[in-house]
C-alpha cells in the first residue's frame, strides 16, 4: 500500500508541471482569440464608417450591422453634412453679388460726397468771381469819374463828393485785391474757375445716375431711401419759404416807412434842396419795393412752400405713427402710398410755382 501511494504521488508530482503548462497555454490561446476578435470588430467598424462617408445610402445598413454586432457597441456618430458643389456655387455667387452691391453703394456715396464738394466750391467760386468783377468795375468807374470831374470842375468845387468817392474807391480796390489774392493762393477745387466746376458738377451727377442705374436696387429699398430723404426735403422747402418771407417783409417795411417818410418830408413848406433829393430817393425806393413785391409775389411763394412742407410733414408723421391713411399692416404698401402722396404734393407745388410765374391774364389757365 505504501508503495502504491508513493507511486501515485510520483505520478501527481510529474503531472503538475504538465497541467500548469496546459493551463498557461490555454490562457494564452484564449487571450489571442479574444484579441483577434477585438481586432476583427475594430476593422469592421472602420470599414463601415468609410462606406458611410462614401455612400450616404448605406447608413441604415451600417446601423443594423452595428446593432447585431453586440449590445456593448457604442452608436456610430453621424458624419457632418457635406455641401454639394451646386450649393457651394450658389453661396459663392451670392457672396460675390453682395460684395459688388456693397462696392456700388460705396461708389454712390463717394459720388454724393464729390457732388456736394463741387456744389460748395461752385457757389464759393461764383461769389468770388462776381465780387471780383463788381469791385473792379466800381473802382475803375469811380477812378474815371473822379479824374474827369476834378479836371473839368475843380477839386475845391467837388470837395464833398471827393470825400465820399475816394473811400468808396479805396474799399472797392481793396476788395478786388483781397479776392484776387485768395483766388491765386487757392488749392484743390478752388483753383478752378466757376465754369470748370459747373462742367465737373454736371459730369459727376451723370456718373452718379449711371452707377445708380447699374446698381438696380429693388423697389422697397428705393422706397426706404425716398422716405429717409423726406427730412432734407422739408428743410429745403422751409428754407426757401423763410427766404421769400424775409424778402416780402423787407419790401413791406420799405413801402410803409418810405411812404410815411416821403409824405412827411414833402409836407414841409420850406423844404431845403438836399432834403428834396432825399424825398425823391425815398419815393423811388417805395416804388421799386412795391413793384418787386407785386411782380415776384414773395408772400404767395412763401405761403405755398410752407403749406407744402406742412402737408409733407403731416404725411410723414402719419406714416411713423401708423395712423390713417398709413394704418396698413404691409410695410411695402405703406411706403408706396407715402411716396405717391408726397409726389402728388410736389407736382402740386410745381404747378403753383408755374401759376405764380405766369402773367395775371394767363394765370387762370394753368391747372
Cα 44 from chain centroid (whole Å): 64
Give per-residue pLDDT as tens, 196-207. 999 998 888 888
Burial class (CB in 10 A: 0-12, 13-18, 19+), 84: exposed
For 337-342, which contacts have Cβ atoms below 8 Å and span 24 or more sequence positions? 338/223, 338/227, 339/223, 339/226, 339/227, 341/315, 342/226, 342/230, 342/233, 342/312, 342/315
Model confidence over 133-182: pLDDT tens digits? Answer: 999 999 999 999 888 888 888 777 778 888 888 899 999 999 999 999 98
Residue 325: asked if its preceding bond is cis (omega within 30°), the reply is yes
Instruction: State the residue for C-alpha cell 408723421.
Output: 317
Grid cell, residue 247, equals: 424778402
The answer to whether residue 346 scores a pLDDT higher than 90 is: yes
Band (pLDDT 50/70/90 cuts) for residue 308 is: very high
Domain residue ranges in the chain: 9-69, 101-216, 219-367
Q: How far apart are CA 85 and CA 76, in angstroms?
A: 26
Distance, CA of 317 to CA of 336 (rounded, Å):
15
Q: Radius of gyration of the chain from Cα atoms? A: 49
Tell me the pLDDT band of 349, cut-offs 50, 70 and 90: very high
Q: What is the mean pLDDT of residues 34-38?
A: 51
Amino acid at each position: 500500500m505504501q508503495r502504491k501511494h508513493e507511486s501515485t504521488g510520483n505520478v501527481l508530482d510529474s503531472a503538475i508541471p504538465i497541467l500548469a503548462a496546459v493551463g498557461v497555454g490555454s490562457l494564452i490561446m484564449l487571450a489571442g482569440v479574444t484579441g483577434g476578435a477585438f481586432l476583427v470588430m475594430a476593422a469592421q467598424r472602420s470599414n463601415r464608417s468609410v462606406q458611410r462617408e462614401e455612400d450616404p445610402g448605406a447608413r441604415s445598413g451600417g446601423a443594423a450591422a452595428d446593432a447585431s454586432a453586440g449590445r456593448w457597441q457604442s452608436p456610430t456618430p453621424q458624419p457632418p453634412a457635406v455641401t454639394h458643389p451646386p450649393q457651394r456655387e450658389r453661396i459663392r455667387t451670392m457672396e460675390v453679388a453682395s460684395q459688388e452691391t456693397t462696392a456700388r453703394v460705396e461708389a454712390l456715396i463717394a459720388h454724393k460726397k464729390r457732388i456736394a464738394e463741387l456744389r460748395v466750391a461752385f457757389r464759393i467760386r461764383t461769389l468770388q468771381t462776381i465780387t471780383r468783377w463788381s469791385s473792379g468795375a466800381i473802382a475803375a468807374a469811380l477812378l474815371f469819374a473822379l479824374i474827369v470831374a476834378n479836371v473839368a470842375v475843380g477839386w475845391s468845387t467837388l470837395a464833398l463828393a471827393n470825400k465820399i468817392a475816394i473811400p468808396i474807391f479805396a474799399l472797392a480796390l481793396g476788395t478786388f485785391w483781397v479776392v484776387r489774392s485768395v483766388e491765386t493762393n487757392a488749392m484743390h477745387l478752388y483753383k478752378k474757375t466757376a465754369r470748370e466746376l459747373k462742367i465737373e458738377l454736371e459730369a459727376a451727377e451723370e456718373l452718379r445716375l449711371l452707377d445708380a442705374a447699374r446698381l438696380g436696387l429693388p423697389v422697397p429699398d428705393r422706397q426706404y431711401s425716398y422716405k429717409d430723404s423726406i427730412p432734407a426735403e422739408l428743410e429745403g422747402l422751409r428754407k426757401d419759404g423763410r427766404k421769400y418771407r424775409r424778402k416780402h417783409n423787407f419790401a413791406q417795411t420799405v413801402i410803409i416807412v418810405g411812404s410815411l417818410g416821403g409824405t412827411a418830408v414833402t409836407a414841409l413848406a420850406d423844404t431845403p434842396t438836399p432834403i428834396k433829393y432825399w424825398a425823391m430817393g425815398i419815393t423811388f425806393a417805395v416804388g421799386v419795393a412795391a413793384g418787386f413785391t407785386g411782380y415776384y409775389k414773395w408772400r404767395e411763394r412763401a405761403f405755398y412752400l410752407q403749406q407744402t412742407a406742412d402737408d409733407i410733414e403731416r404725411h410723414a408723421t402719419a406714416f411713423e405713427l401708423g395712423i390713417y391713411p398709413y394704418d396698413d399692416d404691409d410695410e411695402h404698401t405703406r411706403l408706396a402710398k407715402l411716396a405717391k402722396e408726397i409726389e402728388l404734393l410736389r407736382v402740386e407745388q410745381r404747378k403753383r410755382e408755374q401759376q405764380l410765374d405766369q402773367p395775371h391774364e394767363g394765370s387762370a389757365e394753368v391747372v
